[in-house]
Chains A and B, each alone.
Chain A
Amino acid sequence: MSAEAVPTSDAAEVVLSAEHLTKRFGDREAVADVSFDVRAGEVFGFLGPNGAGKTTTIRMLVGLARPDRGRVRIRGLDLAHDFRRAMSHVGCIVESPDLYRYLSGRENLVHFSRMLPDGAEGRIPELARLVALNERLDDKVATYSLGMRQRLGIAQALLGSPDVLILDEPANGLDPAGIREIRQLVRRLATDRGIAVFVSSHLLSEVEQTCDRIAIIHRGRTLATGPVRELVDRVASDRVRVIARPSARAAEVLRAFGPAEAAAAVPAEAEGPIEARLTKERIPEALRALAAAGVEVYAVERSLASLEEVFLEVTGGETV
């Protein structure tokens, strides 16, 4: 693995691709015709609500489940026919970082390095430092916090120097500090080592902060795939939350742009949140109007549309 940065562009090599993946459970199509490409050096977000088919898709990506239709290619190798060679390029955490709780962190890493070509065991000290577990490596995993287990899981996934790293909801159950650590780690792995990182999440804010490109999955179908900025703009609604003082005055100014409501529990003169409707283009204008009215603005956040709304928008209002 070269240490130099690999530019994320269309020119970068596609290292993981899903082609028309379909999985049925009885009559229900859990995943239907899901396709996407992940390139070297990029963080690819797989966004969808719980139950959308993310984990089922991941299980097909790593060979735990067989697709009823479609195929997975890893560095051009067909997973169904060349499982061992294909998986030698992949590190993954599926669903949750489940490791042997009765073994120490080091024993877990030794265990999984024995399932890789020789030399993986030699990378354990370096990887332990990378995920900041070197101090606790000889403690039993049962004593680890969820964040530590998540990091140990990532170290395990990196043992084989993979080109593709697949992480299923890596932020789940972590505290904000833990989420930030994982996020930084993922970015570093993609940018510094040129690893293609595939991250699933049900949180838009999460993929927005980490990913270069995303695919949105809902009810087993991909709604849209593309650069994260583009898609987030598309799915962001005109709902805006403004924190300002005095809140009543701020709401009054914002009403000129559309409906705006200050939080009822906040006294009119105090600092408080206001729910307003503003399109992206009109936000600067609204801020100038607030400043002119002597309102102090502390924060402006765009809320995101629910995926249900995105789905309606993408499919043109078709019901499913």
Chain B
Amino acid sequence: MRFSGLVENEILKFTRQRRFRVVVLILVGLIGLIVFAQSRSRDRFRSGKDWHVETQERMARMQNMLRDNRTPPTWRRWARFELDRLKYHLDRDIDPEAVSGPLFARGFANAASYLLLPLLAIVFASDIVSGEFAQGTIKLLLTRPVGRANVLASKLAALALAITLTILFGGIVAYVFGGIAYGYAGWAAPALTGFRVAGERLDPAAVRSVALWQDTILAYGLAWFASLSVGAIALLTSVLLRSTAAAMGTMLAALIAGTILPRLAPTWEAQKFLFVTNLPLPDYYSGSPPPIAGLTVGFGAAVLAVWALAAVAAAFAVFVRRDVLA
């Protein structure tokens, strides 16, 4: 008996259940719908001016900022990056505001990290232990000459793999569909990143310019990390509640609460210690204003890591000790 055999078992069960195909269909269907809807609505926002002219005007404004002695050094830095970015696009005859396949794929990471990817992680994780209870197969699984901790570890490994593949697949589908609508080129385009929000103002002190492909990998990495931690917490609810419906319901309620709370109670600062508040890591990284003061990527990742580790530890403690009577 090897551990890899146990993981193989879990993968076999994952792929043979209907939920796996449903997740694939959700991703393909949803991303297709977003691309279609976006490509239909974008044209309305154009000013009508030629983008070449518009870009040259913006570059002129940047140059003015750089020449002006009153411009603070941090803004000077930003203006230089922005100028480079605009020039890069103009040199290659690309509209800097146009969506490209790569840009769409990059944007998908941000948009999906709030709800969609955590939701898919929950769909996988909620069933992973409670499903064995519901089918009665837990009685066979735990009466084989394999320690209970190994059984749960194999499930955790398969869950992490499923979440990883789902996010990879989502990214690829977003790129493929985005490419159909907006073209496949543009991975090397510079992307500005690292904005911070200081009080009411955008602080460009830490702005960096990276290639879009690097920026995209980072955004997906953060979305992946957030989804893994949701998966770990969902695993705990699956172990504790032993019912897939109850586990999924609990996690959904938490996710929804996470999107509502910052709007209803924006001044309640303690919510930054909830895991759901910290799920939009890619957003915090891109520098959109966080819903609660004091949220940064580093803080959010740390909170998620603590939640995930605690959940995994609790899941193991309960799973290994508890009598199986159902």
The answer to whether A115 touches B139 (Cβ under 8 A) is no
> Which B residue's beta carbon lies closest to that of A113?
B5
The answer to whether B1 and A116 have CB atoms under 8 Å apart is yes
Asked if B264 is at the interface of the complex by the 8 Å CB criterion, the answer is no
List CB contacts (< 8 Å) of B190-248 with chain A. none
Is residue A236 contacting chain B, with contact meaning CB distance below 8 A?
no
Q: Kindly report which residue of chain B lies nearest to residue A116, judged by CB atoms.
A: B1
CB within 8 A of A98: which of B16, B18, B137?
A: B137
> When the two chains form their complex, are residues A114 and B8 in contact, meaning their CB atoms are under 8 A apart?
yes
B6 on the A face (CB < 8 A)? yes
B323 touches A64 (CB 8 A): yes
The answer to whether B323 touches A115, judged by C-beta atoms less than 8 angstroms apart, is no
Cβ of B69 under 8 Å from chain A: no
Query: Which listed residue, B1, B12, B147, touches A103 by the CB 8 Å rule?
Result: B12
Kindly state the separation between the CA atoms of A66 and B325 in the bound complex, as whole angstroms. 10
The answer to the question of A81 belonging to the interface, with a C-beta cut-off of 8 Å to chain B, is: no
Instruction: Decide if B143 touches A65 in the complex (CB within 8 Å).
Output: no
- Which residues of chain A are near B324, meaning CB under 8 Å? 59, 64-65
* Size of the chain A interface, CB-CB below 8 angstroms: 34
In the assembled complex, 28 residue pairs joining A and B whose CB atoms fall closer than 8 Å, in A order, are A56-B325, A59-B323, A62-B143, A64-B324, A65-B324, A66-B323, A83-B145, A83-B147, A84-B147, A87-B143, A87-B144, A87-B145, A88-B145, A90-B143, A92-B143, A96-B136, A98-B135, A98-B140, A99-B140, A102-B17, A103-B16, A115-B145, A116-B1, A116-B145, A117-B1, A117-B145, A118-B1, A156-B140
B194 to chain A, nearest CB (A): 47
Contact A94 B143 (CB under 8 A): yes
In the assembled complex, the CB of B285 is this many whole angstroms from the nearest CB of chain A, namely 40
CA–CA, A117 to B140, complex, Å? 16
Is B52 engaged at the interface, CB distance under 8 Å to the other chain?
A: no
Majority secondary structure of chain A interface residues (helix, strand, loop or mixed): loop
In the assembled complex, A95 has its CB within 8 A of some CB on chain B: yes
Residues of B near A95 (CB, < 8 A) are 136, 139
Categorize the interface residue count of chain B: 20 to 34
Q: Select A100's contact among B135, B143, B145, B146, beta carbons within 8 Å.
A: B135
Asked if A84 and B9 sit within 8 Å, CB to CB, the answer is: no
Inter-subunit contact B135/A101 (CB<8 Å): yes
Contact of B9 among A87, A90, A114 (CB under 8 A): A114
Residues of A close to B135: CB separation below 8 A = 98, 100-101
**What chain A residues lie within 8 Å of B306 (beta carbons)?**
none
By a CB distance below 8 angstroms, the chain A residues around B325 are 56, 59, 64-65
A129 at the interface (CB under 8 A from B): no
| Cβ-based interface call for A107 (8 A) | yes
**Is B61 interfacial (CB-CB < 8 Å)?**
no
Q: Closest B-chain residue to A157, C-beta based?
A: B140
Q: A98-B136, A98-B139, A102-B17 are in contact. List 8 more A-B contacts (CB 8 A).
A: A56-B325, A63-B142, A64-B324, A87-B144, A99-B137, A100-B137, A114-B6, A115-B9
B13 contacts A by Cβ under 8 Å:
yes
Point out the residues of chain B lying under 8 angstroms from A111, CB to CB: 9, 12-13
Interface members, chain B 36-56 (any A CB < 8 Å): none
Chain A residue with Cβ nearest B135: A98
| Contact between B12 and A84, CB atoms less than 8 A apart | no
Q: Would you call A107 and B12 a contact (CB within 8 A)?
A: yes
A85 within 8 A of B: yes
0 or 1 for each of A65-90: is its CB under 8 Å from B? (1 = yes): 11000000000000000011111101
Q: How many pairs of residues, A versus B, come closer than 8 Å at their CB atoms?
A: 84
Residues of A contacting B145 in the complex (Cβ-Cβ under 8 angstroms): 83-88, 115-117, 160
Rounded to whole Å, the gap between the CB of B150 and the closest CB of chain A is 9
**Is the pair B13, A114 in contact by a Cβ cutoff of 8 Å?**
no
Is A112 located at the chain interface by the 8 A CB criterion? yes
A115 touches B142 (CB 8 A): no
1/0 per residue B118-146: CB within 8 Å of A? 00000000000000000111011111111
A59 to B17, CA, bound (A): 28
Return the chain B residue nearest A101 by Cβ.
B135
B127-179 residues at the A interface, CB under 8 angstroms: 135-137, 139-147
| Contact call B139/A94, Cβ cutoff below 8 A | yes
Question: What is the 8 Å Cβ interface bit string for chain B, positions 10-39, against chain A (1 contact, 0 not)?
Answer: 001100111000000000000000000000
Whole-angstrom distance between the alpha carbons of A147 and B324 in the complex?
Answer: 25
- Taking CB atoms, residues of chain B closer than 8 Å to A116 are 1, 144-145
| Centre residue among A86, A94, A160 by max chain B CB count within 10 A | A94
Complex partner residue of A115 from B5, B12, B13, B16, CB under 8 angstroms: B5
| A-B interface, 3 closest residue pairs, ranked by CB to CB distance from nearest | A98-B136, A114-B5, A88-B145
Q: In chain A, residues 178-231, which have Cβ atoms closer than 8 Å to a Cβ of chain B? A: none
A103-B13 in contact given A66-B323, A114-B6 (Cβ < 8 Å): yes
Q: Is the CB of A112 within 8 A of B144?
A: yes
Expressed in whole angstroms, the Cα–Cα distance for A96 and B147 within the complex equals: 22
Give the CA-CA distance A103 to B14 in the complex, in Å: 11
Given B5, B12, B143, which contacts A63 in the complex, CB threshold below 8 Å? B143
A66 to B, closest residue via Cβ: B323
For residue A41, give the distance in angstroms from its CB to the closest CB of chain B. Answer: 22
- For A62, list chain B residues within 8 Å (CB): 139, 143
Task: Give which listed residue, A59, A84, A118, A156, contacts B146 with CB less than 8 A.
Answer: A84
Closest B residue by C-beta to A118: B1
Least distance between A44 CB and chain B CB atoms (Å): 18
Partner of B16, one of A64, A85, A90, A102: A102
Chain A residues with CB under 8 Å of B139's CB are 62, 64, 94-95, 98
**Distance A214 CA – B104 CA, assembled complex (angstroms):** 71
How far, in angstroms, from A58 to B1 measured CA to CA in the complex? 25
Residues of B within 8 A of A64 (CB): 139, 142-143, 323-325
CB distance from A52 to the nearest CB of B (A): 16
Q: Which residue in chain B gives the minimum CB-CB distance to A104?
A: B16
Cα A38 to Cα B145 with chains together (Å): 20
In the complex the two chains form, what is the Cα distance from A103 to B6 in whole Å?
16
